[in-house]
Structure 1
Amino acid sequence: MRMDTNTQKKKLPDRPFYLPQGETTSSRIITEAKESLGNRTGLQAVVTKRPCTPRDATRSLFGASSSRTPENRPPSSFSLGSRHFDGSDTSRPASRGRLQPINHTPTFSTLSEEKPKIPSEEEIESGLLPPKPPSDPNKVQRGKATRTRLQQSTSVESSLSSEVKSRVDTSPSDGKNVDESVRRVHSGPKERTTIPVEERGEGDGREMPHRAPSSASVRSPPQSAESRAGSGGTKRTSSAGSTGRGGSAGRREEETAEEALFFSQNIIPLLERMTEASSKKDSKRLGQVTEELYSLLQKENLLGRNCKQRTTILKSIFKLLDVDDSRIQLKLARLILALKVTGTNLLSACKLVFKISRNEKNDPEFLKGDILDVLMDTLKSTDPFNASEALVFCIGSLKLLTGNSTIVKQLVKKDCIESLALLLNSINKTIREGSEPTTQIGNILIQATAALRNLADAGSSRERLLGCQATESLCLIIDSFTSDGDLMLNISRIFSKVTLHTDCCTALADYPTSYRSFVSVLQKHQHKSDVVVRVSFVLGNMTAKNEVARLRLFQEAGSFDILLTLFRFYLEQDVKNQGKEVKKEVTEDGSTVNKTEDVLIKVIRVIANLSINENVGPVICSNYQCVDYLLKVLETKDVSSSEELVLNTVATINNLSFYNTKTSAITTHQVRVLEALLKLVLANNMEAMVEACRVFANLTRQRVVRDFLTEQKIDRMLVTMLDSGNREVVYISCGVLINFMVDEEKRPMLKQEHGIRKLVEVLRDFSKTDWELASLVCQILWNYSGKITSSNDCFGQQESQDLMELLMELLDRDSALDLSFKEDEEMTDYFEETWTEQFCPVAEQLLQRIETHQSDLEPLDNPSGS
């Protein structure tokens, strides 16, 4: 078992593997025991650190390392003020489709004509002609005068008070007094005039003929206003020109006298106070009144598109956006977004929020009120294909805010992960239906995946990501946007975080196209080290514990070829850089990373994990190119400066040397392998020595290797290592010594180096907590005593006596299995199994041999037979 850190190596001798570190469960104890007592000289999964990327201190949309050109991405810096907002925002959202023209050809009349032809009622009902014009020409003139008055109004006080007052003072029962400026119709080109800008649909620059609705939709007064509950005033058309979306012809909504009165008495004063505070540059007062207005609209259910004077309110707010205080700007932006603007205004509002979120000092302001809820609502209600740029800035703001751990927790609680996953799913669905992936959609996805990357650090994020099938959606995004290097980097960063956990690895490994997706990314971005290192890390995680993943990845077309291609390219890059000063990347914890080496570490790890599979391992073992690259790493790198790279390489060679096939490239190059490993044995690095000895344990099955290592005095070094308090070092030494004791001429060395006494001590110290290690000690002594004639001569008199007594004690069930955790039935069963199946068979034979050769005297005849 590999140890991850120096701290673990120091603690290991002091803490038996079965003792928990703090509170733990019995299942974890057994898992650790099995890992510790597993086949430690055989195959092993390689562990490595997760690649770390420094946070973008600039808080920008795409980061300094983005490969996007300026023309293919919105800018992160821009100027923004009231002039960027369109005061004509109305209740009708922008429409992508053009209105169908009225099927009517007007008759052009001359100036001398007295009056236009009045259509019949049948023509009006059929919709072939415009409705009947008013019989009184004065009404038309009054409508023109009213329209002129509206267009000339420039201040909040004059325009709002005069318009509302005219409607409130009108008798509800007198139908003739209804504002004719709205109900006026046009019978010909001479009477058709351009609709005032207030009456146009937002984002629609076309001039459209005004049509009076045949039946107006009725809006009830705010339900929460007790003073108006249950009352039903006569409905009047709003002079703001709001156009409803519910009608089939885009009909305008009407406003009751009660609603107009409420607007006049409650909302207008607030707007006037806001204007006054802005003119006096009283930011504190402006912020307070803005909060009052927001609370009032929220209480009366007038947010969104429910308020018929919405356009008037927005026009007033837009004029206040030149304030310098970012806190006030955020309050105003929240109000604008809560009123459900679209088109240019939505884009400008999202830009404003993004601009504020770029400054880390403003983060606390986003935790006040419900601005995060408004942003989340904007995210969920904005169409990525119709308002893509606005969505880029909206999600971009969330991405920047997820750099704050407190805000991350809040966003996770508000289901931000699920909302982003729904967005990904919506984009995937649209693309599957035939839409082409566009640069703008790619820009949205970059912001969304960057936000998910940060949200993945939250405590419950893993369960949420699995619950909303985000991993599957991300794999589909990979398939559609493989060429987008920035997007692939973000997705690989998400997976590099979540695949640290077994459940996420299993979910990803079970997804059928995940292997193809990752192989495609590696093939497309071979020279983009940031992407390669993370995708390789993800594949290494997937194959670390999942046997099915190892086989399926290896069977994926082109998978092993691309791994070798990457191995060769980055190895050549590393060799070229040797002797040069290489710029290292500083990670979040302050350490430095050689990016080329880091890629090699991750790629080699995938190869090591793949080789654990009994079907894949022999194939890789026979790949001469792969073995050659591994040996070049050992020959060109030093363990003191490239420890993780060297150790991972040796671990991979160890896995490959496990397969003793005729076509093994390890066997063919065994001298080269041994020379590279000897350099590690002589290095002042205990873990490097252990890893090298693991390979020796596999290679010493061949006599030629044992002879070579004996000449290098490696056998004596192994005996010395028995004194180590490190359980793993002792275990590996015993594994190699078993093979050395096969050769009769090498056996005397064990006694000469006091190995017998050391082995007895190992048996006494570790046996009851490591029956597999105890079994190895007995196997060494069994091989060593193959030509025994006298136990005392073979082992030594004291050693023979101590060994016999110790074996008798360890073979006694009650004594051997008297463990401190015997109340744990599962743990007791495991130790009893290893004691019975691994230790007892060889220990019993060894004890019998020692007892049989205990004395040089001839045995006495049986007295009963005399």
Structure 2
Amino acid sequence: MASMERKHEICSPFIPRRNALRKTSAEIVSEARQFLRVQSTQRPLTPRDGQRQLFGKSSVRADHANRPPSTFSLHFDAPDSRPGSGTRLTPLDHKPKFPVPCDDEDLFKAIPKPPTDPLEGKRGVAGARPRLRRAGSLTRLPPVDVQTDVRDRSNPGPGQKQLSAKKLPADHAEVRGSHKPGPRRTASESRIRQLDVDSGPGPTECKGGRRTELGNRDNTTRADEEAESLFWNNTVAPLLRQLESVAAGSSEGAVDRLCDLCDGLHGTLANADMLGRRCKRRSGILRTLFRLIDVKSARLNLHIAKLCLAMCVSGNNLLNICKLVFQISRSESNDMLFENNSIIDSLLAVLSSEEVSTSGEALLYCVGTLKFLSGNSAILKLLLDKNCIGVSQILIQRLHTVEESHFTIAGHILVQLTATLRSLADHPDSRSLFVSFSILPELCVVLRHHCKDQDICTNISRIYSKLSSYSECRLALAQTPDCYQLFLDLLSKHHQKQDLVVRLLFTLGNLTAKMDEARRQLFQCQGCADTLLRLYDSYQRRRREDVPPPSTPPAPPERVQDDVLVKLVRVLANMCIHPAVGPALANNATCIQLLMETLELRSVHESEELLVNVAATINNLSFYQDDSSAISHSQLSIAQLMLKLVLSSSMDAMLEATRVYGNLSQSKDVRDVIMQNRVFQFVVTLLDSKSTEMCFSACGVLTNLALDPPNRVSLSLEGAATKLVDCLRDLGAGDWQLAGQVCQALWNMIGGGAEKLLDAQESEALLEILSTYLDKEKALKWIENEDVKDFHRACWELEFLPVAQKLMKSLTA
């Protein structure tokens, strides 16, 4: 009779109950044990391409005939003597005639004035460094290049014609006929500019359409030209002759000497403010530099490329310089040359200034170079220090707005750029930069614009899979509008692209591992469950039907398929932790069927991580089971399938299966399955593992099994009570949740009328342990850390104390 009365005091089945309205203190403490398991997994491995190519073997562009090549020959154009932005004009047949005056002021402007002082143009040349150009003119008017030296001009003879005031041909270095005194002015230089003003309206043009300069401006121009001519003849020309002379020789140190001369020429032009398109005779410099490329030295070519880029080459010459640097970067042995040369700054400047519409292919090879170099750890840090991520953000934003006619080349550039960012994401210092420059949201925009481009999507998925493992990046991505719907759409569109699919799933798994709001937002996306389960069925069917998968980067197909399923099941396991998601998935018959099918098809030996994740998902879903749920209808089949995990040699598989049995054993039918298949013997053995997690899960199963009086006898014969006492003595003081669960199991066994489970000596030992543990000061005295002490105190008060007092009272009654 007494035993019948005690039955009503038996502890409830082992499973925490969630109160949707209010979370109790006990539930808060129990979350440390995470009954709903958050699943983690390894990041997918990105194989390194053995060869440096513009588009690797795995690229969908690999077989496209119209894609830009990785190998090519270089053909430089003869440098123009005019600015690249000018228009080449044909010579005009000129017949001198008097200008038609418009008014007094215009008439005055139309008549060229001679210099007030013939020697004024030569003043200022006597200094050590000539002043080549007025400061105000440099920012407004790039001078026209001149291919011939400035010659001594004399007054026109009586038989010579006066030069017209109309524009001269821009592509002619010399015009036949007589000249007025002083240096010749080109069309660009003959325009009036407001002196010493940085901005403002352009010059006023007379009605006849002709422009002239004021007298002092004319004098300044002649002085600048003569100063530049003198500087060229005395400084630049000798350097060019030295370059050609050394290149023509065959001495051992020729390359070193040429590199030094190139650096000297670079410095000389920079000091004289003659870089860019400001030097009239840049064509002669470029011609000499282009000839030096035939020396075929990678180190020298980098010096040449740096100087050419500093002189603002454009068009085909810019493209060929970028190709030249690209060719050098294809060999890893040349990486050290880039470390010792500021060419990276020049490449980043090209990316910042050039437009896709005019220099798209040059940008492509420029970014391709950075992609290769980013594979070197030393240069990777250099790229970060030189603000490569900030430059990338600017370029990405410009690529968003390209016209349809340039969409293809923009896609090629983005493949290289996203591959570079993928490498940069490996460096710890890059994470804050990816966040501060808003790269993660920008890449979502790229995905929307180029959702059909598998190369771009795969590269971006690799970036996300790397960075989403870190909290600050994960938060930035989670706050990006509609990123979850975007990922689901890409999973549906590219479901055959395994390396893309696995990384998107890994990213979603990271987002849902830590943030409850992410679990809700993902599940509420249109077609979320259908997309994930359809993908699950697709990859599971490949194994079931033994259909060979599409080609993927080097990895065994079975492992790739398993990796997809591992990441997908992890998303389901993490997502169903949310109280609004879990019940919906627990009632989804397709979801439960697919999970059971995986358990049936796979072995622990070949698919350990997958089966562990499946068991964890089932454990989380079984937390929400009710009489009408799909998991409740399949619980007996699930209990049978868990046998292979319990009997395996994998500790992780055993642990997850034991947790599942701890939830499912609330059902009398499942408890019968456990007893009939003698799983209880194995569960009792787990108490010897000395692992707190393993013992905790085993105690949960034993607590539920002890609800049935016939089971208590079988458990006593296996020595369950003795092992529980040992577990309490050895591990209880360090884990009060475990100590409380041990007491619950003992209470159900002893309180159910099996008082003789322990002999007198064992009962006395249990009483002594309980007496010590029930003394608060003794129980918590060895914990010094205050934060940990508060947690242990809460666990001791909420989890251990009530059931331990009840157990002790039963033993002393």
> Which residue among 314, 326, 337 is the counterpart of 2:298?
326
| Aligned counterparts, 1:518-557, within 5 A | 518-557=487-526
> Which residue among 48, 67, 76 is the counterpart of 1:84?
76
Residues 1:840 and 2:801 aligned together: yes
Deviations 1:111-170 (A, max 9, x none): xxxx5543313299999xx988999xxxxxxxxxxxxxxxxxxxxxxxx9994462xx66
> Which residue among 823, 827, 834 is the counterpart of 2:788?
827
Deviations 1:758-782 (A, max 9, x none): 1111111112211100010010011
Give the Cα separation in 2 of the matches to 1:748 and 1:349. 86
Give the Cα separation in 1 of the matches to 2:750 and 2:56. 69
Deviations 1:508-539 (A, max 9, x none): 11212211221121121111111111111111
Residues 1:64 and 2:41 aligned together: no
Look up the match of 1:797: 760
| CA deviation after TM superposition for structure 1 residue 586, in Å | 5.0
Give the match's secondary structure for 1:284.
Answer: helix
Give the Cα separation in 2 of the matches to 1:553 and 1:687. 28
Look up the match of 2:67: 73
> Which residue among 187, 194, 215 is the counterpart of 2:192?
215
Look up the match of 1:195: 171
Residues 1:755 and 2:724 aligned together: no
Deviations 1:574-606 (A, max 9, x none): 22338x89999657xxx9972122111111111
Give the Cα separation in 2 of the matches to 1:553 and 1:849. 50
Look up the match of 2:671: 706
Give the Cα separation in 2 of the matches to 1:73 and 1:581. 26
* Paired letter, 1:51: P
> Which residue among 88, 98, 104 is the counterpart of 1:118?
98
Give the Cα separation in 2 of the matches to 1:657 and 1:411. 50
Tell whether the 8 Å contact from 2:549 to 2:557 is kept in structure 1 after alignment.
no
- How has the CA–CA distance of structure 1 residues 90 and 765 changed in structure 2, closer, same or farther, with 3 Å as cutoff? farther
Look up the match of 2:625: 660
Give the Cα separation in 1 of the matches to 2:362 and 2:104. 42
Look up the match of 2:570: 605
| Aligned counterparts, 1:142-157, within 5 A | none
Give the match's secondary structure for 2:234.
Answer: helix
| CA deviation after TM superposition for structure 1 residue 311, in Å | 2.9
| CA deviation after TM superposition for structure 1 residue 562, in Å | 1.2
Give the Cα separation in 1 of the matches to 2:621 and 2:804. 31
Look up the match of 1:10: none
* Paired letter, 1:739: N
Deviations 1:47-89 (A, max 9, x none): 1111112111211112111112534421111112xx3234116
Give the match's secondary structure for 1:62.
Answer: coil
Look up the match of 1:396: 368
> Which residue among 47, 55, 75 is the counterpart of 1:54?
47
Deviations 1:20-73 (A, max 9, x none): xxxxxxxxxxxxxx9997464721111111111211121111211111253442
- How has the CA–CA distance of structure 1 residues 211 and 290 changed in structure 2, closer, same or farther, with 3 Å as cutoff? closer
Tell whether the 8 Å contact from 1:358 to 1:400 is kept in structure 2 after alignment.
yes
Taking every aligned residue pair, what percent have the same amino acid on both sides? 37
Residues 1:381 and 2:353 aligned together: yes
Look up the match of 1:274: 243
Give the match's secondary structure for 1:602.
Answer: helix
Give the Cα separation in 1 of the matches to 2:56 and 2:368. 11
Q: CA RMSD in A?
A: 3.5
Look up the match of 2:462: 493
Q: Any stretches of 5+ residues in structure 1 without a counterpart?
A: 1-33, 110-114, 136-159, 200-208, 221-231, 238-253, 853-866
Give the match's secondary structure for 2:357.
Answer: coil
- How has the CA–CA distance of structure 1 residues 846 and 329 changed in structure 2, closer, same or farther, with 3 Å as cutoff? same
| CA deviation after TM superposition for structure 1 residue 755, in Å | 1.6
Give the match's secondary structure for 1:438.
Answer: helix
> Which residue among 686, 694, 713 is the counterpart of 2:659?
694
> Which residue among 615, 628, 631 is the counterpart of 2:580?
615
| CA deviation after TM superposition for structure 1 residue 436, in Å | 7.5
Give the Cα separation in 2 of the matches to 1:560 and 1:176. 90
Give the Cα separation in 2 of the matches to 1:358 and 1:124. 67
Give the Cα separation in 2 of the matches to 1:126 and 1:634. 95
Give the Cα separation in 2 of the matches to 1:440 and 1:759. 70
Tell whether the 8 Å contact from 1:290 to 1:332 is kept in structure 2 after alignment.
yes
- How has the CA–CA distance of structure 1 residues 751 and 436 changed in structure 2, closer, same or farther, with 3 Å as cutoff? farther
| TM-score, normalization by structure 2 | 0.82
| TM-score, normalization by structure 1 | 0.77
Give the Cα separation in 2 of the matches to 1:635 and 1:196. 83
Deviations 1:665-699 (A, max 9, x none): 22212222122111222222222111111111110
Look up the match of 1:481: 450
Moved more, 316-325 or 808-817: 316-325
| CA deviation after TM superposition for structure 1 residue 556, in Å | 0.8
* Paired letter, 2:56: G
Residues 1:304 and 2:290 aligned together: no
Tell whether the 8 Å contact from 1:185 to 1:212 is kept in structure 2 after alignment.
no
Tell whether the 8 Å contact from 1:741 to 1:784 is kept in structure 2 after alignment.
yes
Give the Cα separation in 1 of the matches to 2:368 and 2:54. 6
Deviations 1:205-237 (A, max 9, x none): xxxx957723268899xxxxxxxxxxx995447
- How has the CA–CA distance of structure 1 residues 369 and 464 changed in structure 2, closer, same or farther, with 3 Å as cutoff? same
Give the Cα separation in 2 of the matches to 1:592 and 1:762. 45
Moved more, 665-674 or 616-625: 665-674
* Paired letter, 2:665: T
Tell whether the 8 Å contact from 1:118 to 1:133 is kept in structure 2 after alignment.
no
> Which residue among 806, 811, 824 is the counterpart of 2:774?
811
> Which residue among 27, 35, 40 is the counterpart of 1:42?
35
Give the match's secondary structure for 2:358.
Answer: coil
- How has the CA–CA distance of structure 1 residues 285 and 736 changed in structure 2, closer, same or farther, with 3 Å as cutoff? same
| Aligned counterparts, 1:218-229, within 5 A | none
Look up the match of 1:344: 316
Give the match's secondary structure for 2:35.
Answer: coil
| Aligned counterparts, 1:352-501, within 5 A | 352-428=324-400, 430=401, 438-501=407-470
Look up the match of 2:609: 644
Look up the match of 2:135: none
Deviations 1:415-471 (A, max 9, x none): 11111122213333x26xx86871111111111111000011112111110011111
Give the Cα separation in 1 of the matches to 2:188 and 2:146. 27
| CA deviation after TM superposition for structure 1 residue 828, in Å | 1.5
- How has the CA–CA distance of structure 1 residues 302 and 427 changed in structure 2, closer, same or farther, with 3 Å as cutoff? same
Give the Cα separation in 2 of the matches to 1:383 and 1:805. 82
Give the match's secondary structure for 1:376.
Answer: helix
* Paired letter, 2:771: M
Look up the match of 2:709: 744
Look up the match of 1:722: 687
- How has the CA–CA distance of structure 1 residues 219 and 396 changed in structure 2, closer, same or farther, with 3 Å as cutoff? farther
> Which residue among 625, 628, 633 is the counterpart of 2:590?
625
| CA deviation after TM superposition for structure 1 residue 315, in Å | 2.3
Moved more, 761-770 or 40-49: 40-49
Tell whether the 8 Å contact from 2:146 to 2:281 is kept in structure 1 after alignment.
no
Tell whether the 8 Å contact from 2:636 to 2:669 is kept in structure 1 after alignment.
no
| CA deviation after TM superposition for structure 1 residue 360, in Å | 0.6
Give the Cα separation in 1 of the matches to 2:263 and 2:104. 48
| CA deviation after TM superposition for structure 1 residue 544, in Å | 0.8
Tell whether the 8 Å contact from 1:87 to 1:311 is kept in structure 2 after alignment.
yes
Deviations 1:729-752 (A, max 9, x none): 111111111111111111122321
* Paired letter, 2:775: D
Give the Cα separation in 2 of the matches to 1:653 and 1:64. 40
Give the match's secondary structure for 1:262.
Answer: helix
